[in-house]
Chains A and B, each alone.
Chain A
């Protein structure tokens, strides 16, 4: 009896400690998370009986720009089979809970917009109280950022799949302009279910306190697309290519928001034209460069000829 009580107390303390550590990890920099996980590993040596739960390990946090394997490795909650058999609920970190709430809230967005109401509805479907929406910022920015980072991960996976097919020889390697068009189209199609409320989302993302995160997400998405398109530049081209693609993506997004044609045909045609423009611009730039080189060589030749003719190259 005393042993059972002690066991359950230890487990409760463990859970509390983990909850605190989870909160710490979410609020502070990853270095803190590393220290917490190191401490956690020490604590886990005392709790040999906890079986790891593989299911909650699958919940990756796509919102952070760079994966933090150490943090994710310890945060999933093991399922407890207590001595009385009643404590078998999963314990998850606050971050994973927030992800679940936001994902559930997405289906209420077409109705309520990107607001705290949608988050509250989402929380209700998970069996939590509507007050769970208080965990988030009142203007719905976390919901939008969560959605954007989810779309980016989906795009990454899609491009990775395509690349695997090409490498296995089951698909043809697409020319660059076709690849960029398809990638941007695939990414923009993910927004279509929420297109009514998307202008609201874009304006919220442009608020000053959201700009760092939204810019981060945008640049990493563009970088991903170029990476899978096979860009291997190590000079200033790296920047020009990404800047051009960012411009194409943003303008196409704006066009899509005002497009009323069936299945957004006008948008895809606009996209095709912009990508073709970009390709033309790059080939024009190359031509200018080679012309410039030829011109410089011609001038040098002329200068040498003149110095020879006028005898300026003779030393007197």
Chain B
């Protein structure tokens, strides 16, 4: 695998990282193909960076990082309001998965030397407000928010996978794997949101709007 081959020299030159490696092994869990990447030091990231379309990869990682960061804040907002209610554990579980995604994109960001988006403070506040605001409408509001956000996020991930496929499926295999994994998780969240009566909430909102007119 070209990507693993590119990572290997970076790994080899990070001597003294054995402790970090064993720590990473515990975290390996769902990301076995990036176990070595978890301990990538900025040694010769040139090896990982050669031969890839830096502009495209930069944009993809930056946007995904911003998205996951925003999603984290949305769930944080939802937990702040609904944390102690019946929906709490469910939201907490989804939040944990988002934290996992964010951690993964942080590592990618360091490995590919991508700069984070300038709008991070804005997403920080906006995400929290969106999460908290939708939760104030109750559990159904929170679930409706989740459904809407996860739907657009998974569309977005699909577009990125398509872009990478068009570029070179072999070179970007690892990156595509990660994005596919994230997209599958987001779709799962979307389905969970639907399960918990989000749709009925949207439908009833729509009905009440119509009734008012």
Contacts and interface: CB of A to CB of B under 8 A. Distances in A.
Interface of A: 66-67, 69, 160, 163-164, 167-169, 223, 227-228, 230, 232-236, 238-239
B110 A232 contact: yes
A236 B120 contact: yes
12 contacts: A164-B13, A167-B13, A167-B14, A167-B15, A167-B16, A169-B16, A232-B110, A234-B109, A235-B116, A236-B116, A239-B115, A239-B118
Interface residues of B, number: 21
Contact of B116 (A67, A167, A230, A234): A234
Contacts of A223: 113, 115
B171 to A, nearest CB: 12
B120 A168 contact: no
B43 A238 contact: no
A116 B198 CA distance: 70
Contact of B42 (A66, A69, A227): A227
A69 B50 contact: yes
B15 A168 contact: yes
A184 B83 CA distance: 49
A67 B55 CA distance: 11
Given A69-B50, A238-B115, A232 B42 contact: yes
Nearest to B44: A160
Given A66-B55, A169-B15, A223-B115, 6 more contacts: A66-B54, A69-B50, A69-B51, A164-B13, A228-B42, A234-B110
Contacts of A233: 116
Contacts of A239: 115-116, 118
B97 interface: no
B26 interface: no
Contacts of A163: 43
A233 to B, nearest CB: 8
B60 to A, nearest CB: 15
A65 to B, nearest CB: 10
Contacts of A66: 54-55
Which of B16, B109, B116, B118 has most A Cβ within 10 Å?
B116
Contacts of A227: 42, 113
Contacts of B92: none
Interface in B116-151: 116, 118, 120-121
Nearest to B58: A66
Nearest to A229: B42
Interface string B37-68: 00000111000001100110000000001000
A234 B15 contact: no
Contact of A234 (B42, B50, B54, B106): B106
Nearest to A237: B116
A235 B66 CA distance: 10
B162 to A, nearest CB: 19
Contacts of A69: 50-51
Nearest to B40: A232
A236 to B, nearest CB: 5
Contacts of A238: 115-116
B43 A167 contact: yes
A227 B48 CA distance: 15
A163 B15 CA distance: 12
Contacts of A164: 13
Contacts of A228: 42
Contacts of B50: 67, 69
B16 to A, nearest CB: 8
B211 to A, nearest CB: 34
Given A66-B54, A167-B15, A227-B113, A236 B121 contact: yes
A233 B110 CA distance: 8
A188 B53 CA distance: 32
